[in-house]
Amino acid sequence: MIETRERSAPLAVQIADPMPHIRTLELEHAEALALMWRESSPAWGGNGPYGGDRSSARRVLEDCRDMDPLAVFVA
C-alpha cells in the first residue's frame, strides 16, 4: 500500500493534473496488461514482452515472478 501525506495547506492553483495511482502488480491487473501486450504486438513484430500476441494473464504473472524483482508497479 502506498502511504499518503496530508498537505498542510491547499495549493492556491493546480500546477498539473493529479498523478495516476501507482500500485504494485496484482492478479486483477494481469489480464489488462496481457491485453495491452497483445494489442501492441504488431509494433513489436508479434514477439513483444510477456508473450506478445500470445500474452495471457498467467504469462504476465509468471514472467514477473521469474524475473524476481523487488516490486513490479503499474499505473
Q: What is the pLDDT of residues 3-35, one digit of tens each?
A: 556 656 776 787 777 767 888 888 899 999 999
Residue 73: which H helix or E strand, with range? strand 73-74
d(CA 68, CA 6): 34
The model carries a pTM of: 0.65
- Secondary structure class of 24 (helix, strand, coil): strand
Ordered by start, the domain boundaries in the chain are: 23-74
- CA 67-71-73 angle, to 5 degrees, is 110
